[in-house]
Structure 1
Amino acid sequence: MLTLAPHTLRLRWTAFAGGFVALALGVALLTVMGLALASAADAPGRAPERFAAAPVVVRGTDTLRVPTAAGVRTARLDRPRPVPAGTVAALRTLGEVTEDRSFPVRIPGESGALVGHPWSTAAFARYELTAGRAPRAAGEVVVTGGRAAPGDRLRTGHGPVRVVGTVAGRGFERAVFYPDAVAARLAPVSTQLVVAADPAAVRRAVGDRAQVLTGAARHLADPAPDRDRAAVTALNSLFGTAGGVAAFVAVFVVASTSAFTVAQRRREFGLLRTAGATPGQVRRTVYAEALLVGGAAAATGCALGGYAAPHLAARTVAGGLAPAWFTIGDHTWPYHAAFWTGLTVALCGVTAASWRAGRTRPAEALREASAEHGARTRGRLLAGTALLAAAAGTAGWALLTDPADLLHRKTYISRPMLLITAFALLAPALAGPLVRLLTWLPARLPGGLLAVLVRENATAAARRTAAVAAPVLVTVALTGSLLGATATLDAARTAEARTRTTADFVVTADGGLDAATVRRLRAVPGTAAVSATAASSVYVVEEGVALIRSAARAADPAALAATTRLPVTAGRLTDLDDGSIVVNEEWERHTVGRRVPVRLGDGTRRTLRVAAVLAVGTGDNGVYVTPANAPGAPVDRVEVTVAAGAGRAAVAAGLRAAVGGTDGRVYGAAAWLRGTAPRADGTTRLGLLLVLGIALVYAAIALAGTQVMATADRRRELAALRLAGATAPQVLGLVAVEALTAAAVGALLGVLVAALNLLGMTGALTLLSAPAAPVLPWPALGAAAGGCALTAVVFAVLPAGGAFRLQGSRRRPRPGGTGPAGVA
């Protein structure tokens, strides 16, 4: 029996082409993912950039270490602690000490902020003057790159300056160098310094009060030293998500195609059973076919993945989604993992179909009717109902226990797969009612015979309709669920921020606002309340083992209550003082009046009383403390309300005058909300597009294969329509409308799956006190459904037209003959 498998593949290659291509693409993606993960694990050590020529760098402590029952837990502090003054004095006795300072510099017309440094630190990054001289007096600067030349005057957020020199850019920053005294005034706190002394002597002088960095470890003093690790983590998440979706859709497509193929071959299997084949032999034949197709597809996918991985790595580096050093290395285990995973997927995909083939009775070989039977099997209905109940049960349990879990990306990417599988299993049972719904009105209009024929054909061939609808269901459901989830969350966050903000104006500054500027803002005539807040962090140990970091804002409670509308669920915001804290309901200990041991942003240990509790919301309702509990945090936002009867224009002008000569910017509340509205970052957007692209490609493969197989099986039916008087255009029109109807069934089911997923998210948002309406991305849904429908129609009409041409050639008189050859 197993020797029949190669012959079957040769004769029925069109029936296996779709599964082959889908599996090959899935294995290619798994190969790319594995190669990317392996290459990221071999990341080279990062060389120092700003301090490449520095002998020794001393950096304030930037890591919090907290002992717990499960061991020491660590977290990165909100900002490094300054090197103690006594330690700095001891270091000065060893050699020359150069204090490093960094601060943002904003120049109108420049995209993004530049970074300012003292000129004395330029030599440590090997900056060399290419023109002009070093800055000596206030108002003089040296800039990198070709943006300015000596003698040019620039307007910055710190006041006008004159360019007196230029240096060649180093590629890792766009710097502006000030005289050391000016830099010390703009950035009073220095958290790291360079010491020209023996490293061993420096370590003895520093002890455990700061970090001593030498050699390659000096890169820890560079800006964003963890950016490579964060980029690689995001890249791994991107490829992991794409690989998981590819594996799911590949199994889905292979299983759907195999089920339809087995249903078409029931007479063939019945003939084998009549010839004496046992059910086990028939099943083993189906498995052998899957093994041959799967092995060839897996090998092809490995080759494709090995070819595509370097190109994809280059594209991610060019797009800024991966570090410049990221390249695909020479690894072999990803090929083995992808090959055997693809082979397993192929065998798992035909499991149900093989059992169905083995249950074929010998009498099936005697059937003449092509009408389907057994499409709605009891096992299929039970499995679909069980999966539907599981999806509802898990969503309900999450709503009752942890609603925030439904808002996580890994959840709203994986949860639709359960519903998609459930509705795909139930599709044969749902196809008939949906087809009747879609054709109800057209069948009652004048000339509705076509709609009647479509209705009867589609309901009689429920398995064929479900096979066409399944890939459309996957594509539309993933499009609606993924894009709809991000859109719904963004809308909820935007609405939450709009509700929370009651100020009329918002003043922001990248590098913070000094105390004098804040005093001038408070003194502007016509203001009713001015709330100055600073960004900080608070760390707490929960459940005795987990060190949790919470974003915090430091503010005066009275001014905060006058300029914001926070969702307080217990306590009062005005009760906040230097001995208390405002937390949200996500904290383990969130009872008003309870004392909570915490670590502040600089690692200082405090025990604070809970003054008020906020709703969790979308996750942006963080912690609030007073400025005394946010040491070193500069004011970066000032919210202002206008007094009754005061002119908004006059207040705006006064605010702009107050921040004149600084980096501060004044926005109306509406403009500030628009500018800070949540938007998907580049990695998230690329990940969603990659996942949806995979779904769309697989849908096209599955639709093309299914329609080609279905049309080949309908040649007698189409010929009968021609003999009944239908013209070729009429028959092709019927085929096209049938394909369009089946695609519409899949689109409706996909929209239903997306709507159910989004309803779960909106339920979670409501429980978290951030109610929002579900946002279905109708343009994207229309594009996905339209692309699937076009594919279904094209690959239904083209084979049907080819069948007509073949039949026409057979009807032509033979050479020397006198009559038609008959109808095939």
Structure 2
Amino acid sequence: MLSVARYGLHTLRTRWVTFAGSFVALCLGVGLLTVTGLALASTLDAPRRAPERFAAAPVVVRGADTLRVATPIGTRAQKLAQPRAVPAAAVAALRKLGRVTPDRTFAVRLASAENGPGDLVGHPWSVAAFAPYEIASGRAPRTAREVVTTGTWAKPGRILGTDRGDVTVVGTVADRGFEHAVFYTDARAARLAPHSTQSVVAAAATAVRNAVRGNPGVQVLTGADRRFADPDPDRDREALTALNALFGTAGGVAAFVSVFVVASTFAFAVAQRRREFGLLRIAGATPGQLRRTVAVEALLVGALASAVGCVLGRYGAPGLARWSVDGGLAPGWFRIGDGDGHRWPYCAAFATGLLVALCGAAAASWRAGRTGPAEALREAAVDDRPMTAGRRLSGGVLLLTAAVLLFLALLHDPGGLLHRKSYVSRPMLLITAVALLAPVLVRPLTRLLTWVPARLPGAGGMLVRENAAAGVRRTAAVAAPVLVTVALTGSLLGTTATLNAARAVETRDRTTAAFVVTPPAGGFAETTLRALRSVPGAELSATSASAVYVLEDGVALIRSAARAADPAALEATTRLPLVSGRTTGLDDGSIIVNEEWEKHTVGERVRVWLGDGTRRTLRIAAVMPTGTGDNGAYVTPANAPGAAVDRVDVALRPGADASTVAAGLRAAARASGAHVLTRDRWIAETYPETAETDRTTRLGLLLVLGIALLYTGISLVNTMVMATSDRVRELAALRLAGAGRRQVLRLVGAEALTVVAVGAVLGLLVTALDLAGVAAALHALSVPAALTLPWTTLPWASLAVTTAGCAALAVLASVAPAALALRHRAVDLAGVRA
């Protein structure tokens, strides 16, 4: 009678090389899940940030900065693009209670030759006392050309060239760590930033609340709530929300890769033991006993590997946190927590490791348990039936599911396919489907890839072809990590490259201006705009960034980016991709929308809220396609109150000389620090076509890809070592047949390269299918962009390096153990496990 537990323990001791690969793969997978789980748990709660700029202020009164709309299912809220100032009547009432100090904040940029912080912010000197700032050296500013700075980067007496004019530093205050401030006199700050949305009131909070009662949206901030008067008070919560999404995506990828690779590794480990299973069946073991044996082995390996993986994850998580902080993905205070609320990642990772081990081993052992004794012995010699009906059915169902989901997405929401969560997760279904169907593809792929080598003089090419084609299961198992690596790299980088190229094409087709003038920090001053308009031969279109809000389906308050522009000037510098209507049809009573809006028919009227919360009903003058997401609404400046001009497109009047106009624009912009760029240079810098995505997205992709590639790389080494160690007798037979040691090693290396090539081709197949879906989504969104494959743009280097790295690891992991084994005599090796 077969003792399942005793036999399982004996097998672990005698076949430790086989189980070492499964152990390492599972251990690493659980470690990655623990790391991402701990990072995810640490993003659930943001620390309560204390007031910074107004820590010593008695009361801060802030104008309405949030739009609230009542709906049948509750009030919906959105942050206003242009917060409102405190009403004048309320300010007059507050002045009767005590001193009212308006707060003004504006960006200040040093001249390019200056040495100092690059993110200066200006304030009136009167608000310095509320941080509080105190003079450390020098004195307070008294004239319009005098300033006080934070920190020690500028000494009293230094003259600074800024986009706000040259100023002299007359004093410094200690740096409090949350801003690099430049304090002007109150009168000068009022001229530089006439719009103020909040003020400090020296009065009792109760009296202040009574004074502003009846002014909707006006906030009275005291105590800890004064932090809401600081710039971007929700930055910690928003950063953690982004981190939550990033680590959630990374955890999902880690879970998928670990399940995929561990299941493949266990399946290969069990497949290597077909001869052993056949002998046990002859000895009287039942199929149920074989399955229970494999389950016990998997349980033992899974428990030990999961425990070790949790320990590794505990020490690896702080490193991920430090990398996130250093890369700017996380706030400086972000750390991995260790309280009671951070225990669930260990439990989840450990349970996942056990489940993966049991599922992987059970699936692999099912076929062996169903075969008869003689059939199992025949099956151990060659992979004559590597593809089971269940595997074929599962692969076909997954492939069909991927196709149906893509079709439904293209039919109902093609824009959703371009979101990061979608294009990161979508390849996983294809990868699994192709991996399940890989045994069907391995043999023809192998013969195709080795067709030329097999016809060269000598038997090497023929042996490579036949060995790889005969060992279909071994080839498919080794190719699986390569498939994951190449498919994820190609799909993610190829998608970002395609989207970048699409956005660049959209912008190039839309922009007809000869030049684009970008502003100094804080936007264009009116004097600069007048100087630009006075340049002979230049026709300007000054536009502002704003937003409009619309209530869709009566319950969803949607914010849509909007640009404010004069219709006639816009027509001269921009070619909007309209599907209906005309750009010149835009006026103060109308709006240009895109097809994503619930109402998008020319002439139809839509109720909107402007960037400052003003409610309007506007007529739809024109409709644009959805595009890649940059086709926001267009309104006139009258419907974007408070929005500062942040871009000036310049067209050439008939007969104007481009170089003369450019010189005039640079002369007009020089004093303000604005930059004059040619159309092509502006497009190249703003919308590059070479997958140079923004830094956060790039680091996020690096994190996701790094986790996947590290794991699959190690798993590739494990699988190659397992496969090579199982071929000792085969290698010995080659030595006895007259092959030299170097010839055998070359053969092993060539087979490894062939298997990597098979995995790379399968990975490229997944990449092509995935990018075809992206191209179809872009076509559905009317985006004039061609498919950008990762080997025709910048990401090709990453794809080539990834494939080359897999090839190097595979060759090293196969040749090294073969070389160690061949140190013994061939006669002795031939008797191994006879």
Q: TM-score scaled by structure 2?
A: 0.95
The question of 1:215 aligning with 2:218 is answered no
Residues 157-202 of structure 1 show CA distances to partners (whole Å, capped at 9, x for unaligned) of: 1111111111222211111111110100010100000011111111
CA shift, 1:729, in A, is 0.7
State the secondary structure of the residue aligned to 1:323.
coil
Q: Distance in 1 between matches of 2:832 and 2:686?
A: 73
Matched, 1:251 2:259: yes
1:565 is displaced (CA, Å) by 1.0
Q: Is the 8 A contact 1:699 1:788 kept in 2?
A: no
List per-residue Cα deviations over 1:15-42 (Å, max 9, x = no partner): 1222222222222222223322333333
After superposition, the Cα gap between the structure-2 partners of 1:164 and 1:396, relative to the gap in structure 1 and judged at 3 Å, is: same
Calculate the aligned-residue CA RMSD, in Å. 1.9
Shift of 1:386: 2.0
* Distance across 2 between alignment mates of 1:746 and 1:716: 26
2:802 matched to 1:802?
Answer: no
Give yes or no for contact 1:592–1:610 (8 Å, CA) kept in 2: yes
Residues 428-439 of structure 1 mapped to structure 2, 5 A cutoff: 428-439=439-450
Equivalent position of 2:612 in the other structure: 602
In the alignment of these two chains, the number of paired residues is: 814
Where do residues 604-643 of structure 1 align in structure 2 (5 Å cutoff)? Answer: 604-643=614-653
The question of 1:81 aligning with 2:61 is answered no
Match of 1:814 in 2: none
1:360-439 alignment runs, 5 A limit: 360-364=371-375, 366-367=377-378, 370-439=381-450
Alignment of 1:183 with 2:183, yes or no, is: no
Match of 1:62 among 42, 58, 65: 65
Match of 1:306 among 311, 314, 322: 314
Contact 1:554 1:630 in 2 (8 A): yes
1:61-99 per-position Cα deviation (integer Å, ceiling 9, x unaligned): 111111122211111111211000011111111111100
> Which amino acid in structure 2 is aligned with residue 27 of structure 1?
V
In structure 1, give the amino acid aligned to 2:296: A
How far 1:573 sits from its partner (Å)? 0.8
Partner of 1:50: 53
Give the partner amino acid of 1:638: V
Q: Deviations over 1:330-387 (max 9, x none)?
A: 2322222222122222222223113123113222565497222320222222222222
Tell me if structure 2 keeps the 8 A contact 1:26–1:243: no
- Contact kept, 8 Å, 1:266 with 1:360, in 2: the verdict is no
- 1:106 aligned to 2:117? no
Match of 1:94 in 2: 97
CA contact (8 A) 2:267 2:364 kept: yes
Map of 1:781 onto structure 2:
799
Q: Which residue of 2 aligns with 1:769?
A: 782
CA displacement at 1:637 relative to structure 2: 1.0
5+ residue gaps, structure 2: none
2:750 aligned with 1:737: yes
Between 563-572 and 668-677, report the one with greater CA deviation.
668-677
What whole-Å deviation, never above 9, does each CA across 1:200-239 have from its counterpart, x for those lacking one? 1111111252101111111111111111112111211221
Query: What SS does the aligned partner of 2:51 have?
Result: coil
Which residue identity lines up with residue 89 of structure 2 in the other structure?
G
Could you tell me how far 1:488 is from its partner in structure 2? 1.0
Once the two structures are superposed, residues 281-320 of structure 1 have per-residue CA deviations (whole angstroms, 9 ceiling, x without a partner) of 2111111111111111111121112222233223322333
Partner residue, 1:666: 676
Moved more, 549-558 or 703-712: 703-712
In structure 2, the residue matched to 1:144 is: 150
Distance in 1 between residues matched to 2:562 and 2:214, nearest whole Å: 28
Aligned partner of 1:39 in structure 2 is 42
In 2 relative to 1, CA 512–368 (structure 1 residues): closer, same or farther, beyond 3 Å? closer
SS for the counterpart of 1:239 is: helix
Candidates 341, 352, 355, aligned match of 1:344: 355
1:171 to 177, 183, 189: 177
- What's the counterpart of residue 162 of structure 1? 168
Task: Output one character per residue of 1:469-521: Cα deviation in whole Å (capped at 9) or x when no partner.
Answer: 11100000000001111111111111211111111111222312233432332
Is 2:808 aligned against 1:790? yes
| Deviation larger for 431-440 or 606-615 | 431-440
8 Å contact kept, 1:271–1:364 = no
Deviation at 1:48, TM superposition (A): 0.8
In structure 1, C-alpha distance between the alignment counterparts of 2:261 and 2:822, rounded to whole Å: 29
Q: CA deviation at 1:12?
A: 1.4
Which stretches in structure 1 are left out of the alignment for 5+ residues?
Answer: 812-819
Q: 2:126–2:186: 8 Å Cα contact kept in structure 1?
A: yes
The DSSP-based 3-state class of the residue aligned with 1:171 is coil
Structure 2 counterpart of 1:200 = 206
Give secondary structure in 2 for the equivalent of 1:722. Answer: helix
Kindly tell me: are residues 366 and 184 of structure 1, through their superposed partners in 2, closer, same or farther at Cα, counting changes over 3 Å? Answer: closer
Match of 1:495 among 499, 505, 512: 505
Q: Any conservation in 2 of the 1:106–1:112 contact (CA below 8 Å)?
A: yes
CA deviation after TM superposition for structure 1 residue 808, in Å:
5.4
Asked if structure 1 preserves the Cα contact closer than 8 Å seen for 2:732 and 2:826, the reply is: no
CA distance in 1, matches of 2:29, 2:728: 33
Contact between 1:321 and 1:682, CA under 8 Å: does it hold in 2? no
Name the residue aligned to 1:815: none
Cα 1:245–1:461 shift into 2, 3 Å: same
1:34/1:207 Cα in 2 relative to 1: closer, same or farther (>3 Å)?
A: farther
Question: Does structure 1 retain, via aligned residues, the 8 Å contact 2:729–2:832?
Answer: no
Residue matched to 2:133: 127
The match for 1:231 is 239
The alpha carbon displacement at 1:645 in A equals 2.3
Structure 2 partner of 1:817: none
Q: What does 1:461-500 correspond to in 2, within 5 Å?
A: 461-500=471-510
Query: What is the rounded CA distance, in whole Å, between the counterparts of 1:333 and 1:714 in structure 2?
Result: 42
Q: Residues 810 and 823 of structure 1 are in contact (CA less than 8 Å); yes or no, is this contact kept in structure 2?
A: no
Does the 8 A contact of 1:107 with 1:155 survive in 2? yes
**Structure-1-length-normalised TM-score:** 0.96
Task: Please identify, of 325-334 and 717-726, the stretch whose mean Cα deviation from structure 2 is larger.
Answer: 325-334
1:333 equivalent among 344, 347, 353: 344
Distance 1:248 1:95 in 2: 63
Amino acid aligned to 1:113: D
- Supply the distance in 1 between the matched residues of 2:585 and 2:813 (Cα, whole angstroms): 69
Distance between the aligned counterparts of 2:827 and 2:190, measured in 1? 91
Cα distance in 1 for partners of 2:719, 2:381 equals 17
Distance 1:456 1:200 in 2: 88
CA contact (8 A) 1:157 1:662 kept: yes
Q: Which moved more, 1:105-114 or 1:496-505?
A: 105-114
Deviation, 1:11, is 1.4
Quick one: distance in 2 between partners of 1:169 and 1:676? Answer: 33
Match of 1:320 in 2: 328
> Does structure 1 residue 683 correspond to structure 2 residue 696?
yes
Q: Partner of 2:534 in structure 1?
A: 523
Bigger mean CA deviation after superposition, 380-389 or 71-80: 380-389
Partner SS state of residue 137, structure 2: strand
Alignment match, 1:11: 14
Give me the whole-angstrom Cα distance separating, in 2, the residues matched to 1:19 and 1:591.
60
Q: Supply the distance in 2 between the matched residues of 1:254 and 1:593 (Cα, whole angstroms).
A: 59
C-alpha displacement at 1:443, in angstroms? 2.5
Secondary structure of 1:54's partner? coil
What is the rounded CA distance, in whole Å, between the counterparts of 2:532 and 2:617 in structure 1?
33
**Alpha carbons of 1:431 and 1:111: their partners in 2 closer, same or farther (altered >3 Å)?**
farther
2:24 equivalent to 1:21: yes
Structure 2 CA distance for partners of 1:755 and 1:228, relative to 1, 3 Å: same
1:822 and 1:563 map into 2 onto residues whose CA distance is 79
For residues 276 and 809 of structure 1, what CA distance do their matches in structure 2 show? 33
1:629 Cα deviation after fit = 0.6
In the aligned structure 1, how far is the partner of 2:812 from the partner of 2:527? 71
DSSP-derived class of the 2:437 partner: helix
Q: Deviation at 1:660?
A: 4.4
